[in-house]
Amino acid sequence: MHINCPVIFMGLLRIMMPPKFQLLAVLAFGVAVLLIENQIRKLEESREKLERTIARHEVREVEQRQTHDVVKDWPALAESDDQVIIYNRVPKTASTSFTNIAYDLCGKNRFHVLHINTTKNNPVMSLQDQVRFVKNVTTWKEMKPGFYHGHVAYLDFSKFGVRGKPIYVNVVRDPIERLVSYYYFLRFGDDYRPGLRRRKQGDKKTFDECVSSGGSDCAPEKLWLQIPFFCGHYSECWNVGSRWALEQAKYNLVNEYLLVGVTEELEDFIMMLEAALPRFFRGATELYRTGKKSHLRKTSEKKPPTKESITKLQQSDIWKMENEFYEFALEQFQFVRAHGVREKDGELYVLAQNFFYEKIYPKVN
């Protein structure tokens, strides 16, 4: 039989107390109920905290047992030491600045850095070279963990039937800014290797003069580079103005790259890589902010283009497509950053882990 305690209590009040005291008794009873409910809520919160603590402890025990089993039964590389990163760097996107970070950190963080030097800087490998490269990256244990970088188009490792795919990262830049930087780089070089003779050395024509005269080095077709680098080793990727190539480049950026940053926000890109891949990039953010090499490479004699030159290039369909890809990459990067970092007192900081495991079964003995 169900007994309604509050009803009985109120009945007793009417029998045992004068009316003038009944209101005070009801208020006191209500306060007591609220205090009891508050205590129950605190007990529930304490129970949830205890469950989370127990869950974390169980996870650590499982991880320790698995690590012990791996070391005992599989004398191979640890998972983090088996990683390979490929940075198929697009020319004139601050790629040398970023690569210098890897070179500065490789000794301290104990990984290898390898430059992919292709003949005449051809970004498209022959089929036989693709096979050789894939085999090298996946089986060259002495070079693991490894950071490969070079001006090479994206290569889909899944086509070659290998186990384990590398981690792809990259950086993109505003298309016109990238072309202007490359134009002056071919003529005047940079302060990274100032004594090196460049292909167009001696040509003093400015970028604006090139655009106004319809020169080939500043033609809209020269903008077509970031899309094919992300599109890859398909013939259609290198057909200037291909809508299919643009869509394939977008697909690869979202599905095949861990992170794609932008030149204009390079420090944020490095900060996020350090948070995601500390095995390689621990200390990268501080090094970028304070180091000398990371800021070394600057194109010499570069003059910003006039509005007239920019407007003329922006009239082309090629610029519209390359800019669409850049804006797409920028949006993806800002989305990832918004969910990974916060700003406080004008400084960005990486968010701590925001998930945990619980209700793990079967229970650890």
> Which residues are catalytic, by number?
149, 151
Give the residue among 163, 328, 350, 157 at the shortest CA–CA distance from 148. 157
Contact 165, 86 (CB under 8 A): no
- Residue 114 φ/ψ, nearest 5 degrees: -130, 130
Contact 216, 225 (CB under 8 A): no
Alpha helix positions (H), the chain: 5-16, 19-73, 95-109, 127-139, 175-188, 207-213, 226-231, 243-256, 266-276, 278-281, 284-290, 307-314, 317-338
Q: 353 has which bridge partners?
A: none
Structure-block tokens of residue 172: 């993109």
Estimate the crossing angle of helix 95-109 against helix 266-276, to 10 degrees: 30
Structure-block tokens of residue 115: 């430059």
> Strands of 167-172's sheet, edge to edge?
112-115, 146-149, 84-87, 167-172, 257-262
266/98 Cα distance (integer angstroms): 8
Counting Cβ atoms within 10 Å, is residue 95 exposed (0-12), middle (13-18) or buried (19+)?
Answer: buried
141/75 Cα distance (integer angstroms): 13
